[in-house]
């Protein structure tokens, strides 16, 4: 029993030792990651060897810009571009094929209305031109006549005020005097005849006739004098003052009318000229609008400019960046916006590659470097590529590649927008000395010579971020050390 118990304890101890060792060997997650990193070397023996820098990028196939035909509409006058139908996304088309049908019913109606209204507008323009021409001739004559009439009216008023009215008053008073004289003559004649006939020089019948006539004349003179006094008194008190006031009012009215005429006639002529100029501008604008509407109508007949494939939207670096938005517009009832690229016709032919570049990889790339592209759709296919352009614009670091993809007889199942993995060989050396970056200080390194540190100037090459190629200044076997 004691022996069996001793074996059990020994077995437990044997099992516990690996567990304890494993726990001790397990890294402590609470410790900083830096403690788990491999420390930078403090010494390095220079020796030649292979060195290569390869940059891997995710890229998209894209057509060269000269093979992409962007389709947009830029109407000059008509903004309503309602879609009736459009060829589907990805359709193969021939040059001249209709790509989209725009609803032009309202546009055609607007053109018809402008065409029907043009003759009436043209006729109204001719009438306005004739009216302005006539006013241009008659206005100076009317102004001259107004000045003459004003001068005559002023002279008439001055004469009446100075002479006419006083003479009318004097004449009225003279009329009373004349009436009184007539009365006196009639009275005297009657009284003399009456005395004479009382002497019985004439027959009784003749006497009676003459006296009766004289008496009648005297009575008429008496009545005329009475009426003249009444009439002339009213003339002096009422009629003549009223007549003077009326003439004065007429003179003042003539002054006002003259001022109005002198000011208004030139302005009316000017107004008519401005109205004519506006009508001419409006007609010119209407004719221009008519021409623009007809041009818009013709531009809405959208045809393919080349053989190729129709893609919705606009391509940028191989991505159809607006396709999701445009696809909602290229449906019956959808509306297009002016200058909006709603389709791109891509000719079949050579394809390029476009890739976004992380900033840390940007320094390794430059035009002329070769690369290998593997399409995601066909991993067994390898395509030769070469960098043609590198963009250093912050936020849009990118690279473009020329390829042999899409050429006649090659890779016909590759299309713009497909993905590829690109591997760029940024640097390649078969036999070159490299030194860890932490041991390189500027253009020099420290080397142990006979137990002492010496500083050596070197010529640096490329670096992969960990080691730097030393082109000159170090020999095989040199012991490079930290300072």
Per CATH, the architecture of 107-298 is what?
A: Orthogonal Bundle (1.10)
**Domain residue ranges in the chain:** 107-298
pLDDT for res 7? 31
pLDDT at 422: 94
Query: At residue 453, does pLDDT exceed 90?
Result: no
Tell me if 334 sits within 8 A of 322, measured CB to CB: no
What tokens appear for 270 in the block?
Answer: 């000017």
pLDDT digits (tens, 9 = 90+) for 192-205: 877 777 665 555 67
Q: Report the pLDDT value the prediction gives residue 22, as an integer from 0 to 100.
A: 37
> What pairs with residue 454 in β-bridges?
447
Q: Which residues contact 382 (CB under 8 A, 6 or more apart)?
A: 372, 373, 374
Q: Is the pLDDT of residue 123 over 90?
A: yes
Please tell me the least confidently modeled range out of 87-91, 286-290, 292-296, 454-458.
Answer: 454-458
Quick one: which of 294, 271, 275, 82 has its CA closest to 286?
A: 294
Taking residues 206-218, report their average pLDDT.
77
The tens digit of pLDDT for each residue in 269-319 reads 999 999 999 999 999 999 999 999 999 999 999 999 999 999 999 988 778
**Average pLDDT taken over every residue of the chain:** 84
Structure tokens at 418: 């497909």
Name which residue leads in pLDDT, 430 or 110: 110
Among candidate residues 190, 180, 238, 247, the one with its CA nearest the CA of residue 218 = 190
Residue 15 has pLDDT above 50, yes or no: no
Give the CA distances from residue 267 to residues 136, 143, 260, 263, 373, in Å, rounded to whole numbers and listed in that order.
11, 12, 10, 7, 81
- Residue 19 confidence (pLDDT): 35
Alpha helices in 349-435 (DSSP H): 359-362
Compute CA distances 406 → 92, 351, 375, 400, whole Å: 16, 5, 12, 16
Per the CB < 8 A criterion, the answer to whether 480 and 435 are in contact is yes
pLDDT in tens, 124-160: 999 999 999 999 999 999 999 999 998 999 999 999 8
Q: Which of 63, 75, 135 is nearest to 104 (CA)?
A: 75
- The predicted-structure confidence for 42-84, as pLDDT tens digits, reads as follows 888 888 889 888 899 999 988 888 889 999 999 999 999 999 9
Residue 107: is its pLDDT beyond 90? yes
DSSP letters for 258-310: HHHHHHHHHHHHHHHHHHHHHHHHHHHHHHHHHHHHHHHHHHTSEE-SSSEEE
Q: How many residues does the chain have?
A: 483
Within a 13 Å sphere around the CA of 444, how many CA atoms are in the beta-carbon half?
8
- Token duo for residue 241: 């003052």
């Amino acid at each position: 029993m004691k022996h069996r118990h001793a074996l059990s304890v020994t077995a437990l101890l044997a099992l516990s030792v690996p567990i304890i060792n494993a726990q001790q060997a397990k890294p402590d997650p609470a410790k900083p990651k830096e403690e788990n990193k491999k420390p930078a070397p403090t010494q390095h023996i220079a020796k030649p060897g292979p060195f290569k820098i390869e940059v891997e990028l995710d890229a998209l196939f894209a057509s060269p810009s000269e093979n992409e035909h962007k389709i947009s509409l830029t109407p000059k006058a008509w903004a309503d571009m309602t879609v009736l139908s459009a060829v589907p996304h990805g359709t193969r088309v021939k040059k001249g094929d209709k790509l989209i049908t725009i609803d032009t019913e309202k546009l055609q109606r607007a053109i018809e209305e402008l065409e029907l209204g043009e003759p009436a507008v043209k006729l109204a323009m001719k009438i306005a031109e004739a009216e302005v021409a006539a006013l241009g001739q008659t206005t100076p004559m009317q102004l001259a006549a107004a000045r003459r009439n004003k001068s005559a009216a002023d002279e008439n008023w001055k004469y009446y005020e100075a002479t006419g009215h006083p003479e009318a008053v004097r004449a009225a008073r003279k009329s009373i005097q004349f009436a009184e004289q007539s009365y006196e003559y009639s009275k005297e004649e009657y009284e003399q005849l009456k005395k004479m006939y009382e002497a019985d020089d004439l027959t009784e019948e003749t006497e009676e006739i003459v006296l009766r006539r004289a008496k009648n004349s005297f009575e008429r003179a008496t009545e005329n004098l009475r009426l003249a006094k009444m009439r002339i008194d009213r003339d002096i008190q009422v009629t003549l003052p009223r007549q003077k006031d009326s003439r004065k009012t007429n003179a003042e009215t003539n002054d006002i009318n003259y001022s109005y005429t002198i000011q208004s006639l030139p302005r009316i002529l000017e107004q008519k000229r401005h109205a004519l100029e506006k009508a001419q501008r409006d007609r010119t604008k209407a004719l221009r609008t008519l021409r623009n509407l007809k041009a818009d109508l013709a531009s809405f007949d959208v045809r393919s400019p080349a053989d190729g494939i129709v893609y919705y939207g606009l391509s940028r670096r191989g991505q159809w960046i607006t396709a999701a938005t445009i696809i909602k517009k290229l449906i019956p009832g959808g509306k297009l916006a002016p200058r909006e690229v709603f389709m791109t016709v891509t000719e079949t032919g050579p394809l390029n590659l476009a890739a976004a570049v992380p900033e840390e990889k940007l320094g390794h790339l430059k035009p002329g470097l070769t690369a290998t592209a593997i399409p995601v759709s066909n991993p067994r296919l390898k395509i030769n590529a070469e960098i043609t352009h590198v963009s250093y614009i912050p936020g849009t670091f990118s690279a473009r590649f020329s390829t042999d993809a899409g050429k006649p007889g090659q890779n016909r199942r590759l299309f713009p927008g497909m993905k590829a993995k690109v591997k760029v060989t940024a640097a390649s050396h078969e036999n070159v000395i490299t030194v860890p970056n932490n041991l390189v200080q500027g253009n020099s390194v420290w080397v142990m010579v006979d137990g002492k540190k010496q500083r050596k100037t070197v010529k640096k090459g490329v670096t992969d971020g960990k080691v730097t190629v030393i082109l000159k200044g170090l020999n095989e076997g040199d012991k490079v050390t930290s300072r």
